[in-house]
Chains A and B, each alone.
Chain A
Amino acid sequence: MLWFDILLGFIIFPGLAFSAMIGFLYVWIERKLRAKMQGRIGPPFYQPFFDFLKLISKNDIIPQGVNSITFTLAPILALSSLLLASLLIPFGPRSIINFSGDILMVVYLFSLLSVSYMMAGSSSPSPYSMVGTKRMVIQFISYEFPFILSIISILLLSGSISLSGIFFSIKKPSEYIFYLFPFITVVLTIPAKLMINPFSIPNADTEIVDGPFTEYSGKRLALFYLTHCMERPILYTLLYDLFFPPIGSITLIFQIIFSIIIIFVVTILATVTARLKINQLTKFYMLYVNILAIISLIFSTIKTMKWFI
């Protein structure tokens, strides 16, 4: 029965069908909100869905000079790592698979996603994708360290190493101050992880065509488009699970409401800011966000030591 559950989880909930649909919805909210802020009407709600269908119905071209194995493998790797992450993260009150230490595996799978983007970029000899990959590596190193540090401080605070343990750990109102610093740190890493403005540096469409995805077309690009859409609900739900308690059987509704609030914050930030340079990004994450992450780690360590004494 477990295998049947996992298969069902992969295909319907919370895997391919559900997270793709809700990801299309989130992408539409982003685009519509940006349009409204710029005084436009904006795309209709089915727009990301039709973008995906169009891309998957188009012809595929493998350009001359690319390594066709990694070129084909990269989108599949990206999508499958996200699907596996969706099984580990509790959508609603519980996840499909849970074991001790699955939070580490989720962090690993999100890193694998970025690595598959780098793989996609480095498989083609186009200078645009090369530059995009280089920028992506720098960006990945910059934001990943504070992200992991803040997750470690959450592990210390909740006293559990599994995601459902963190989700169900009792968060007292007096402890909210300790959760505040890691929360801010993780929220600050979202724009860099999703590659949207001000940190849309690897796929800067006005400088380097589309970064690592320049040489992609048709069905392979459709898989990357789907990955971009599915990244959002999975990452936002992970954020909810790390910082907020489950609320009975209506947890999923609260997760979606929380995701939409985060989308509003991130999109408003993306619309009012311009793209930064890569050295500004590195300074921002390596210095300021890192200091915030280290402060949160020190706070949670002090609190944990009190617990033991």
Chain B
Amino acid sequence: MNLKSKFIKRSPWIFHINSGACNGCDIEVVAALTPKFDVERFGILLKGSPRHADILIVTGPLTAQTYERVLRVYEQVPKPKIVVAIGSCCLTKGIFDGSYALKGPVDQYIPISVYVPGCPPRPEAIIRGVYRALEIISEKYVMV
């Protein structure tokens, strides 16, 4: 296992971006960060700036309005980075399928490592997804 990914596994800082979700998944993401679940015992912190983050959490079907912003925020996260997609809308287009305002699922534009399905997924599932992302990051960045 690479040393860099070992450090990230010990202190993953996350940034949360809404790419046009209905706010249901966002509430569950915030619920996962409450004292009841206490993700700080794994070193997970929610950061306000994507430049400080390691893990990008995306919720929602990529709308035409958020398309450029999501790409820009993805580029602002310094490497090594990893993306977790939360909710059914982010995986497929979900209930919004067929809308003229959509650019399509997020994984057509940025590489996504973990998909967490559900409408909305439970906080436990979101924490499991982030944990799975940390396992993947050690496999993905062996060569970095």
Contact = CB atoms under 8 A, between A and B. Distances in A.
Nearest to B79: A59
Contact of A57 (B7, B38, B48): B7
Interface stretch (A32-40, A158-166, A255-263): A32-40
Chain A contact surface mostly: loop
A61 interface: yes
B52 A46 contact: no
25 contacts: A35-B40, A38-B35, A40-B35, A41-B41, A44-B41, A47-B11, A47-B43, A50-B43, A51-B11, A53-B10, A57-B4, A57-B7, A58-B4, A58-B54, A58-B78, A59-B79, A59-B80, A61-B78, A63-B51, A128-B49, A205-B48, A210-B49, A214-B49, A214-B51, A216-B52
Pairs A-B, 5 closest by C-beta atoms: A209-B48, A50-B10, A217-B51, A54-B7, A40-B38
A221 B76 CA distance: 14
A43 B40 contact: yes
Contacts of A217: 51-52, 78
Interface string B27-59: 000000001001011010001110110100000
Interface string A200-229: 000001100110001111100100000000
B54 A54 contact: yes
Contacts of B41: 35, 40-44
Contacts of A39: 35
Contacts, number: 77
Contact of B40 (A40, A58, A128, A215): A40
A5 interface: no
B110 interface: no
Interface residues of B, number: 21
B22 interface: no
Contacts of A216: 51-52
A31 interface: yes
Interface residues of A, number: 32
Interface of B: 3-4, 7-8, 10-11, 35, 38, 40-41, 43, 47-49, 51-52, 54, 76, 78-80
Contacts of A44: 41, 43
A31 B40 contact: yes
B79 A58 contact: yes
A214 B51 CA distance: 7
Contacts of A214: 48-49, 51
B11 A41 contact: no
A212 to B, nearest CB: 11
B10 A46 contact: yes
Contacts of B43: 43-44, 47, 50-51
A209 B51 CA distance: 11
Counting chain A CB atoms within 10 Å of each CB, the highest count among B3, B4, B51 belongs to B51
Contacts of A60: 78
B49 to A, nearest CB: 5
Contacts of A54: 7-8, 10-11, 54
A206 B8 CA distance: 24
B38 A59 contact: no
Nearest to A221: B52
